[in-house]
């Protein structure tokens, strides 16, 4: 898993590229990213070679909680997250700071 950030000079936006590399690609049919930036609505990630990726424009100067959902049921955090915060349900959420 990885996060790549690219800040735009023309406006206060950061393009964040999320990448999820499954341990077993054969059994991973879909990966979605859900977070504060989408009101926790699922955003499908695209399968590119051996990884699932998605780039999302985020307003700079904020923190955003997020998680990955695998095959519609398994929830995972990003190992490359800037930090983790308790989610109040069971465990933590990943946080990206831009």
CB atoms within 10 A of CB 89: 8
Segment 57-66 mean pLDDT: 97
Per residue in 2-31, is it b (16+ CB within 10 Å) or e — as a string?
Answer: ebeeeeeeeeeebebebbbebeeeeebeeb
Q: What is d(CA 77, CA 98) in angstroms, rounded to the nearest whole number?
A: 18
Residue 25 is predicted with a pLDDT of 66
Query: Domain of 73?
Result: 2-97
Q: What is d(CA 25, CA 50) in angstroms, rounded to the nearest whole number?
A: 7
> Mean pLDDT across the chain, nearest whole number?
94
Does the structure show a pLDDT above 70 at 38?
yes
Residue 56 is predicted with a pLDDT of 98
**The total number of structural domains that make up the chain:** 1
Does the structure show a pLDDT above 90 at 23?
no
Q: Determine the distance from the C-alpha atom of residue 3 to the mean position of all C-alpha atoms in its chain, rounded to a whole number.
A: 8
- pLDDT band for position 94 (cuts 50, 70, 90): very high
pTM above 0.85, yes or no: yes
The CATH number given to whatever domain includes residue 10 is 2.60.40.10
Percentage of the chain surpassing pLDDT 70? Answer: 99
Q: What is d(CA 47, CA 40) in angstroms, rounded to the nearest whole number?
A: 21
Burial (CB < 10 A; 0-12, 13-18, 19+), residue 50, is exposed
Do 40 and 34 contact (CB within 8 A), yes or no?
yes
Segment 1-29 mean pLDDT: 91
């Amino acid at each position: 898993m990885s996060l790549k950030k690219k800040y735009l000079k023309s406006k206060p936006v950061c393009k964040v590229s999320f990448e999820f590399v499954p341990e077993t690609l054969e059994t991973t049919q879909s990966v979605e990213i859900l977070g504060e930036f989408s009101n926790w609505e699922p955003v499908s990630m695209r399968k590119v070679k051996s990884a699932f990726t998605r780039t999302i424009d985020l307003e700079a100067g904020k923190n955003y909680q997020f998680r990955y959902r695998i095959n519609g049921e398994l929830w995972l955090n990003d190992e490359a997250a800037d930090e983790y915060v308790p989610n109040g349900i069971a465990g933590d959420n990943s946080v990206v700071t831009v």
